[in-house]
């Protein structure tokens, strides 16, 4: 793990009209690390992801990219830095085959306008092989693939831009056991390649399985960053629901300090 | 189509990420690779039927049925004169249907193509014949009028956000009115036989060599493109078709091309109308399936959101697609004017609009966007014109023709709906 994080958020705030969506949020992600971002509905996970992805520019705070302060105001800014985001609704065209979807919007061309299908197919196979992704054929329409296969295709597509940070928004939601395992395997392979991965998830089992650290958001603010290996699932859930932050626990911690 | 059940290979790759690239075999045994030879075709064909991927099979079966029925009623139906007639007559409606295929690929509809085609013929006739303008210039202006009409539809649909159905319905009324206005009180302008538009359907390359040379050129070009594409695939190390496959397809195309050439030469020779129509089908098919523009049209038909996120300029694609539909409507209108050697007030009226949409759908273009080819327009219009001509020979009245065409259209969409259901259960919808 390098000393300088790939991405660091310092005191980030975001407001939508009267709603304070994010308050003074800090987050650090290092290369070769999977950070899970968890929190209850409305905790600000999606807003935070969108500020990193450039969909919503931040109001206050600092975004640092590899130690350098940057401004991310448009999705293109994030892409240029090397941030790839895979949203929950995947955004694949069902009627186009796997190769076409991988290269949608950045087709390899010959003579300026003619599709270079051969080169795109070769690069697709290379990419899928290097990620150990197995699909029946790269020439079948996306409609023929299972949910898990679509998810890995969407993640593979994000890899074409050679990003340094990949943001996965609920990649295992609505997937079966086998398919979830496929996606989690892929997440581990991304980490092995030295990428930083920000994983948004509701599923504690997934988080425990692949994440190195867990950042908990609650009501738009930080509610702790935990090391997955040394933290129990109950502690994380308590941080998400705020069970640790009520009158009872505050009193308990006060009395504990007094006794020291 | 099985998904990966053996996870040991993947775990090995995770444990040793550096070895992942070398460790994975280039060819996955589960890939849907077609076996070589005839046996491969039979298994592939069986798989496609089971999965509901009928493609053009229902239309071709339908055409054979139509030919068989009308030939049994009148042996002249498959005579060279009648076949030439059908193929020349289909160009007008077929060109309009080609433009409709583009719009259907977006999952939209253009109801104005009939009126736009009438307007184009009126503009040409008034400019070239009434005002004596240079014929070619008048032709270009007539075609441009179609593209401009399409651009207006596209603007209101893509920029303002009015449903295409409503915009083009307004266009249907407006352009028809404009056509009547342009034609003026006379109503009918005859097109003389030395006029360029008359020649669109009236000119035949009477030299026997013309049809054969064109057939030969087509076959050679097909073989060469397929062969060189295959060689590039082999060089890049991606799966390529067996050469026997290419040869078989080439032979099939050669049989059709030379068969049609022989039929043409037994009558008046190679019709200019067929050359233009088929030439434009080749070009549009290339544009849709082999260029970035075509890829964008298909992706918009599949998912607008995915296209937008991929950085595709949705508005530009939508407007240009409606311009293409308008252009082809205008061109088809000139062919239809050529057929009756006149521009008149009835141009673009009647069943033309419905026939051209029906042709695209009967040919196999999906009404829901994202699936179809411009060759569908040719197959579909062939069905419609064959029925019209065949029933015409039998002396069947127009109302019955309309009813039969309607029944065929219904049968087509029923087949489409059933195959889509089968496809969904086979995971290919």
| Mean pLDDT taken over chain B | 86
Q: What is the pLDDT of residue A36?
A: 93
How confident is the model over B222-244, as pLDDT tens digits?
999 999 988 998 898 888 888 88
How confident is the model over A3-53, as pLDDT tens digits?
789 999 999 999 988 888 899 999 999 999 999 999 888 888 888 988 998
- Min mean pLDDT across A206-220, B315-329, B331-345 is at A206-220
How much of chain B, in percent, has pLDDT values that exceed 90? 63
Q: What is the pLDDT of residue A250?
A: 62
Cβ neighbours around B4 below 10 Å, total: 19
Q: Under an 8 A CB cutoff, do A115 and B293 touch?
A: no
How confident is the model over B307-337, as pLDDT tens digits?
988 889 999 999 999 999 999 999 999 999 9
Q: Under an 8 A CB cutoff, do B302 and A122 touch?
A: no
How would residue A1 be classed by pLDDT, with cut points 50, 70 and 90?
Answer: very low
How much of chain A, in percent, has pLDDT values that exceed 90? 35
Smallest Cβ–Cβ distance between B13 and the set A87, A109, A189 belongs to A189
Q: Under an 8 A CB cutoff, do A95 and B302 touch?
A: yes
Q: Does B233 touch chain A (CB under 8 A)?
A: yes
Q: Under an 8 A CB cutoff, do A104 and B299 touch?
A: yes
Q: What is the pLDDT of residue B203?
A: 93
What is the ipTM metric for this complex? 0.81
Site from B229, B287, B306 to mutate, A interface, most A CB atoms within 10 angstroms: B306
User: How do strand A60-65 and strand A7-16 relate by DSSP bridges?
Assistant: antiparallel
Alpha carbon B12 to its chain's center: 50
Minimal CA separation from A33 to chain B, in Å: 15
- Which residues 238-267 on chain B approach chain A with CB closer than 8 angstroms? 238
Most confident of A106-120, B4-18, B131-145: B131-145
How confident is the model over A180-199, as pLDDT tens digits?
888 899 999 999 999 999 99
In a 3-state reduction of DSSP, which class is residue B189? strand
Smallest Cβ–Cβ distance between B28 and the set A119, A134, A144 belongs to A134
- Which residues 70-109 on chain A approach chain B with CB closer than 8 angstroms? 87, 89-96, 100-101, 104-107, 109
Total-model pTM:
0.85
Q: What is the pLDDT of residue B429?
A: 44
Most confident of B242-251, B377-386, B388-397: B377-386
Smallest Cβ–Cβ distance between A136 and the set B1, B9, B237 belongs to B1
- In terms of pLDDT, which residue wins out, B425 or B289? B289
How would residue A247 be classed by pLDDT, with cut points 50, 70 and 90?
Answer: low
How would residue B4 be classed by pLDDT, with cut points 50, 70 and 90?
Answer: very low
Minimal CA separation from B221 to chain A, in Å: 17
Q: What is the pLDDT of residue B155?
A: 97
The residue-averaged pLDDT of B213-221 equals 95
How are strands ordered across the β-sheet holding A7-16? A19-29, A7-16, A60-65, A68-70
Minimal CA separation from A254 to chain B, in Å: 46
B51 has a pLDDT exceeding 90: no
DSSP for chain A, written as a single string: --SS-SEEEEEEEEEETTEEEEEEEEEEE-TTEEEEEEE-TTSSHHHHHHHHHTSS--SEEEEEETTEEE---SHHHHHHHTEEEE-TT----TTSBHHHHHTTTS--EETTTEE-HHHHHHHHHHHHHHTT---S-TTSBGGGS-HHHHHHHHHHHHHTT--SEEEEESTTTT--HHHHHHHHHHHHHHHHTT-EEEEE-S-HHHHHHH-SEEEEEETTEEEEEEEGGGS-HHHHHHHHHTTTSSHHHHHHHHHHHHH-
Cβ neighbours around B394 below 10 Å, total: 13
The residue-averaged pLDDT of B340-352 equals 89
B17 has a pLDDT exceeding 50: no
The residue-averaged pLDDT of B296-314 equals 91
B37 has a pLDDT exceeding 90: no
How confident is the model over B206-215, as pLDDT tens digits?
899 999 999 9
Q: Which residues of B touch A122 (CB under 8 A)?
A: 236-238
DSSP, res B271: E
Q: What is the pLDDT of residue B296?
A: 95
How confident is the model over B122-173, as pLDDT tens digits?
999 999 999 999 999 999 999 999 999 999 999 999 999 999 999 999 999 9
How would residue A145 be classed by pLDDT, with cut points 50, 70 and 90?
Answer: confident
Smallest Cβ–Cβ distance between A118 and the set B26, B232, B299 belongs to B232
Q: What is the pLDDT of residue A260?
A: 58
Q: Contact at 8 Å (CB) between A151 and A69?
A: no
How confident is the model over B63-107, as pLDDT tens digits?
999 999 999 998 889 999 999 999 999 999 999 999 999 999 999
Q: Which residues of A touch B20 (CB under 8 A)?
A: 129-132, 189
Q: What is the pLDDT of residue B271?
A: 96
Task: Return the structure tokens found at B187.
Answer: 């109503």
Cα B115 to Cα A86: distance, rounded to the nearest angstrom? 46
The residue-averaged pLDDT of A121-143 equals 88
Minimal CA separation from B349 to chain A, in Å: 35
- In terms of pLDDT, which residue wins out, B11 or A193? A193
Q: Under an 8 A CB cutoff, do B14 and A121 touch?
A: no
Q: Under an 8 A CB cutoff, do B312 and A136 touch?
A: no
The residue-averaged pLDDT of A84-105 equals 89
Q: Under an 8 A CB cutoff, do A144 and B7 touch?
A: no
Q: Which residues of B touch A113 (CB under 8 A)?
A: 291-293
- Which residues 183-242 on chain A approach chain B with CB closer than 8 angstroms? 185, 188-189, 192-193
Cα B129 to Cα B133: distance, rounded to the nearest angstrom? 7
The residue-averaged pLDDT of B11-36 equals 41
């Amino acid at each position: 793990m390098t000393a300088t994080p790939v991405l660091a958020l310092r005191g980030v705030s975001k407001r939508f009209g009267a709603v304070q969506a994010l308050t003074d949020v800090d987050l650090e992600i290092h290369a070769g690390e999977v950070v899970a971002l968890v929190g209850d509905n409305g905790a600000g996970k999606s807003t935070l992801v969108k500020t990193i992805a450039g969909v919503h520019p931040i109001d206050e705070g600092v975004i640092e990219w590899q130690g350098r302060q940057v401004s991310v105001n448009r999705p293109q800014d994030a892409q240029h830095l090397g941030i790839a985001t895979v949203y929950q609704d995947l955004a694949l065209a069902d009627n186009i085959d796997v190769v076409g979807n991988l290269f949608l919007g950045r087709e390899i061309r010959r003579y300026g306008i003619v599709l270079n299908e051969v080169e795109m197919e070769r690069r697709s196979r290379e990419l899928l092989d290097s990620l150990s992704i197995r699909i029946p054929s790269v020439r079948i329409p996306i409609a023929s693939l299972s949910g898990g296969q679509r998810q890995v295709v969407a993640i593979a597509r994000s890899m074409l831009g050679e990003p340094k940070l990949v943001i996965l928004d609920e990649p295992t939601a609505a997937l079966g056991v086998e398919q979830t395992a496929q996606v989690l395997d892929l997440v581990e392979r991304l980490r092995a390649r030295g990428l930083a991965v920000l994983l948004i998830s509701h599923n504690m089992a997934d988080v425990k399985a692949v994440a190195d650290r867990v950042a908990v958001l609650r009501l738009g603010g930080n509610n702790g960053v935990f090391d997955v290996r040394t933290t129990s699932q109950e502690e994380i859930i308590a941080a998400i629901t705020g069970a640790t932050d009520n009158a009872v626990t505050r009193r308990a911690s006060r009395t504990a300090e007094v006794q020291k | 189509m099985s998904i990966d059940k053996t996870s040991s290979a993947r775990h090995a790759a995770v444990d040793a990420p550096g070895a992942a690239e070398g460790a994975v075999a280039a060819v996955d045994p589960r890939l849907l690779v077609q076996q070589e030879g005839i046996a491969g075709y039979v298994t592939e064909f069986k798989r496609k039927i089971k999965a509901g991927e009928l493609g053009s099979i229902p239309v071709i079966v339908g055409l054979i049925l139509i030919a068989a029925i009308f030939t049994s009623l009148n042996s002249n139906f498959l005579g060279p004169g009648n076949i030439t007639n059908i193929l020349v007559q289909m160009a007008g409606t077929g060109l309009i249907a080609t433009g409709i295929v583009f719009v259907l690929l977006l999952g939209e509809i253009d109801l104005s193509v009939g009126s736009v085609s009438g307007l184009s013929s009126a503009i040409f006739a008034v400019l070239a014949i009434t005002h004596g303008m240079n014929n070619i210039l008048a032709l270009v202006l007539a075609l441009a009028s179609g593209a401009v009409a399409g651009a207006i539809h596209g603007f209101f649909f893509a920029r303002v956000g009015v449903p295409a159905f409503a915009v083009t319905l307004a266009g249907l009324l407006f352009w028809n009115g404009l056509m009547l206005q342009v034609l003026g009180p006379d109503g009918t302008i005859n097109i003389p036989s030395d006029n360029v538009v008359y020649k669109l359907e009236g000119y035949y390359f009477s030299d026997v060599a013309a049809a054969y040379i064109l057939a030969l050129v087509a076959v050679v070009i097909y073989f060469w493109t397929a062969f060189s594409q295959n060689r590039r695939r082999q060089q890049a190390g991606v799966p390529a078709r067996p050469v026997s496959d290419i040869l078989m397809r080439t032979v099939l195309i050669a049989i059709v091309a030379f068969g049609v050439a022989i039929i043409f030469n037994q009558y008046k020779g190679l019709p200019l109308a067929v050359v233009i129509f088929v030439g434009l089908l080749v070009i549009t098919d290339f544009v849709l399936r082999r260029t970035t523009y075509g890829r964008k049209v298909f992706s918009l038909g599949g998912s607008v959101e995915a296209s937008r996120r991929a950085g595709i300029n949705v508005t530009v694609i939508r407007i240009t697609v409606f311009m293409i539909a308008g252009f082809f409507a205008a061109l088809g209108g000139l062919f239809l004017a050529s057929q009756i050697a006149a521009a008149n007030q009835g141009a673009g009226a009647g069943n033309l609009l419905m026939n051209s949409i029906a042709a695209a759908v009967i040919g196999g273009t999906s009404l829901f966007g994202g699936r179809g080819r411009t060759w569908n327009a040719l197959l579909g219009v062939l069905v419609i014109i064959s029925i019209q001509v065949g029933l015409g020979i039998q002396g069947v009245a127009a109302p019955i023709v309309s009813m039969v065409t309607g029944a065929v259209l219904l049968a087509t969409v029923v087949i489409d709906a059933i195959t889509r259901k089968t496809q969904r259960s086979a995971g290919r919808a």
